[in-house]
Structure 1
Amino acid sequence: MPAVPNPVLDLLTVRGTVTEAEQITARMRRLRIDGGQLAGLEVQPGQQVRVLVGGLTLRTYSIWHYDPSGGVELCVLDHAADGPGARWGRTVTPGEQVRLRRPEGTFTLRPDAARHLFVGDETAAVAFGAMLAALPGEAVVSGCVETATASDRLPLAGGDRLDWVLRGETSLPDAVRRLAPEPGGIAYVAGEARDVQAVRRVLREAGWDRRAVLTKPFWTPGKKGMD
């Protein structure tokens, strides 16, 4: 495929430089990207950006933290599928230039909700982190987050109010049944597509209004573009 001229990319993307890279969990790196074009963006907690990870290949990452002065932080999961996204997240280093799309997505915090329920896996935890950090300390929070190991748990604001479960010990739908969250708030359900569907069914059976259950399937086993 012929290279897209830079003026076209400049219309579609903003540019920045990786300034920080650190291992934040056993399989996740925190990357900070800074640049003048990243200042003053409209960002809502839970939104994502699409990053050019090689050539014209785009991969989507939730925003962990946004600095209005011109900094975007991502947490990138390193997983078994050795695709372009996983390789980029594993190998990118400070000083490298990055192009990314502007923040997008409707899977975002509803700050006025009476209660907030978070259900998902490692891929959802990044968006959950941004949402939790934006909530006041008195917000009513509960939820379940599934990880492969305890060392995969992100340091979430208010994470001590969530139930952390290990993959294989129980399922997310069963964890939600055990938690038995009462309807009346907003549920944020994200992660593997089949788990998202199953948890949504559990909540609907428990009396949750479908409009109160926000869902975001971040990945599907074997689907290209999710690696």
Structure 2
Amino acid sequence: MNAVIYILRCIVMLLVTWTGIRLIGKKSIAEMTSYDLAAIMLLTTVSAEPLVYKISSKATVGVFTIVIATVFLGSLSLKKFFYNIDSKPSVVIAEGKIIEKELKKARMNLPLLVSELRIKGYQNVSDIKYAIVEPSGKMSVIAKSQVSPVTPKEIGIPTAPVNLSFPLIIDGKVDDKNLNFLQKDREWLLGQLKAFNVGNFEEVLLAQYDSSGQLFVNIKNKKIEIPNIF
């Protein structure tokens, strides 16, 4: 009987906690403010108490008190005076130069900085006019005008409409649903794979078909030389 009551208590507090988190708002961990994270940590602690002390009603009140307080703090964050105590953006690169003081404040080391720039598509720090670590923890990068990519719109080039890339093979398994959607069959796919010296589907790690009609194939266990990355 005690086991059944304990299981029911777990289910009730799971639902209460889930409701509380939904009321706080839909955010990823990276987008949460410091008070959001504090609220989530406190929420999980309070909601776990009934599993030890058998006081579900008090914990339920506690959960919703935390939710109300978090929503209230969220509304305060829109007020100007709150900006002074909330986290601010850190400019870690200015005019191609790394600002060491701001880098330390952002708790970011050089390999991580270089990695973030690569993710944004830039290889050299000297190409960057400003790099800013936002309060969410994400990095915004503004490149110098000489290295900023030129868009087709700027030079008046017409472009084909963008469409999805369809996975046709994943880890040796053919996606027949996507093949049917593209009005293709396995015989056609196998014929396309012969251009990559592939004799059967099991040899393929990933095969994708894009909107321009090109097939991209990654073969399993194919040895590729890679450089050491800083």
Q: Same fold (TM over 0.5)?
A: no
TM-score calculated relative to the size of structure 2: 0.20
Greater strand share, structure number:
1
TM-score calculated relative to the size of structure 1: 0.20
**Which of the two has higher C-alpha Rg?**
2
